[in-house]
């Protein structure tokens, strides 16, 4: 029922959804571009429409009263920035104990333009030995979807090239705020 309602709402807003799911029930889902607060709303509707049942992390201040219970009910987990190594281990352990887990991250880490993506998603997928799937919210075409799954290899730059190619032409609500798709050097 929720899937149909979400799909109806997205269509009412002019959006379509598309999915090329990985061949597994456990994967890291990166979602980009992330340039607006609307990303959460459209992403949540797409999550329900595609029956993904994602879990995600967000900065801990989002989980304070009065809204914290809503973000938790929607699959959110609060994190404090600056503790990335421990976070990678925690999420990898979560994959070990889950038969089905779609863990979503916005690798830009912010709605503002940056010169790089955060690489936690890459290290989480490697540590958990699960693929990375690429989710997108293309405000230019009004299309939300999932595709392009791959297992991260030893060559991060080659994997980032694959990611850049996948997101080429996909526009955020504010394209000028889109971050460069590359790892921090």
Is residue 82 predicted with pLDDT exceeding 70?
no
On whether the CB atoms of residues 174 and 142 are closer than 8 A, the answer is no
Residue 183 lies in a domain: no
Which whole number is the average pLDDT over 76-93? 74
Q: Which residue has the higher pLDDT, 110 or 152?
A: 152
- pLDDT, tens digit (0-9, with 9 covering 90-100), for 55-72: 887 778 888 888 888 888
Mean pLDDT of the chain: 89
Beta bridge partners of 132: 28, 150
| Number of separate domains in the chain | 1
Residue 56 lies in a domain: yes
**Which residue range forms the structural domain that includes residue 9?**
2-177
Question: Counting every residue, how long is the chain?
Answer: 185
Sign (positive or negative) of CA dihedral 81, 135, 143, 51: negative
Query: Which of these, 70, 67, 66, 88, lies nearest to 79 by C-alpha position?
Result: 88
Q: Name the token pair of 12.
A: 């009412």
% the chain with pLDDT above 70: 95
> What three-state secondary structure class fits 158?
helix
Residue 108 lies in a domain: yes
On whether the CB atoms of residues 152 and 159 are closer than 8 A, the answer is yes
Is residue 113 predicted with pLDDT exceeding 70?
yes
Residue 103 lies in a domain: yes
pLDDT value of residue 84: 57
Q: What is the DSSP letter of 183?
A: B
Q: Name the token pair of 33.
A: 């571009």
Which whole number is the average pLDDT over 120-144? 95
Residue 185 lies in a domain: no
Assign residue 149 a region: left if phi > 0, alpha if psi is -120 to 50, beta otherwise?
beta
Residue 182 lies in a domain: no
Which whole number is the average pLDDT over 19-36? 93
Which whole number is the average pLDDT over 83-101? 81
| CA 137/CA 87 separation, integer angstroms | 26
Residue 166 lies in a domain: yes
Torsion angle of the four alpha carbons 81, 83, 88, 92, in this order, in degrees rounded to the nearest 10: -100
């Amino acid at each position: 029922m929720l899937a149909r309602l979400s799909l109806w709402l997205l269509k009412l807003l002019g959006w379509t959804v598309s999915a090329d799911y990985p061949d597994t029930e456990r994967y890291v889902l990166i979602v980009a571009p992330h340039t607006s607060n609307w990303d959460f709303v459209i992403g949540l509707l797409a999550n329900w429409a595609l029956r993904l049942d994602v879990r995600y992390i967000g900065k801990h201040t989002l989980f304070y009263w009065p809204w914290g219970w809503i973000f938790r009910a929607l699959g959110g987990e609060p994190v404090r920035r600056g503790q990335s190594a421990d976070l990678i281990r925690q999420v990898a352990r979560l994959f070990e104990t889950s038969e089905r887990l779609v863990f979503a991250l916005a690798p830009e880490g912010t709605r503002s333009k940056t010169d790089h993506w955060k690489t936690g998603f890459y290290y989480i997928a490697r540590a958990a030995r699960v693929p990375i799937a690429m989710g997108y919210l293309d405000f230019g075409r009004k299309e939300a979807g999932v595709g392009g799954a791959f297992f991260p290899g030893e060559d991060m730059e080659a994997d980032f090239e694959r990611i850049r190619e996948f997101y080429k032409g996909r526009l955020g609500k504010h394209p000028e705020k889109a971050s460069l798709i590359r790892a921090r050097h």
